[in-house]
Amino acid sequence: MGMRICSLSSGSKGNCIFVGTEKSSVLVDAGIPLTKIKKCMEIFGADLSQTDLFVTHTHTDHIKYLSQIARYCKSVYCSPAVAQQIEQYAGYKTKITDCDKTIGDITVSAFGVSHDVPCQGYSFYHSSGKISIATDLGKVDDDVLDALMGSDLIMLESNHDPKMLACNKTYPAYLKKRILSDRGHLCNDVCAEAVLRLALAGTRQFLLAHLSQENNTPQLAYNTVVGNLEANGIVEGADVSVEVALQDRVTGIYELV
């Protein structure tokens, strides 16, 4: 069995991702209730008490249930800057990972991303291949692209459609400015350009993540990314696979073979 990934929930209301093999299991972020995580872990055949949790950053949709879930996990890891914030605001001490970390037969490598709080993405290496996750970032710079290169599957943010955001009368100007900034969130078009570059470099599976429920739709995100791929001669379903991770639905289990 190769390495597997499944999004348990992805969006502004809560985030949690499972990555695992027959021997090892990892969770990324703790933004959903423990009860849902336990049910999913049973389906995966994974033991939560033998699972390590990696945190990307301290926004509520990623750590809301951290203290609850941490009691059942083996260990909690994050960057030094994120650990400092967690201890300051939540009173919980985590383990620091500022270099590659081996979890059973999985090697976890962190890389920085541009957000309005300290934040990082993760790559997971196994004999079956490489999986990378990058959500909550305002830009895809060369360092992020380098970190994602060589991945067999990438989970990448496709947060909003700029036109929908501009027309959203419930969002104040300062919030729109934050989302659109280099320290905010990726729009569909920027995500599409990054996916194209990564597909041309050899990645064949993409999960679009962290969609805004107010400023995006799954179909719009999918159409933007796939349309850009097909305009450049890459056919979804034949050359690559593109799917959308949703807020209220667990994705299928994607396995590297």
DSSP string, 102-168: EETTEEEEEEE---SS--EEEEEEETTEEEEEE-S-S---HHHHHHHTT-SEEEEE--B-HHHHHH-
> What CATH fold (topology level) applies to the domain 4-255?
Metallo-beta-lactamase; Chain A (3.60.15)
Domains of the chain, residue spans: 4-255
Query: Between 67 and 32, where is the model more confident?
Result: 32
Q: pLDDT (tens digit, 9 = 90+) per residue, 24-52?
A: 999 999 999 999 999 999 999 999 999 99
Give me the mean pLDDT over the 212-225 stretch.
Answer: 98
pTM, two decimal places = 0.96
| 257 pLDDT higher than 90 | no
B/e letters for 225-249, b = 16+ CB within 10 Å, e = fewer, are bbebbeeeebebeeebebbbbbbee
Beta carbons of 197 and 234 less than 8 angstroms apart: no
Q: pLDDT (tens digit, 9 = 90+) per residue, 121-164?
A: 999 999 999 999 999 999 999 999 999 999 999 999 999 999 99
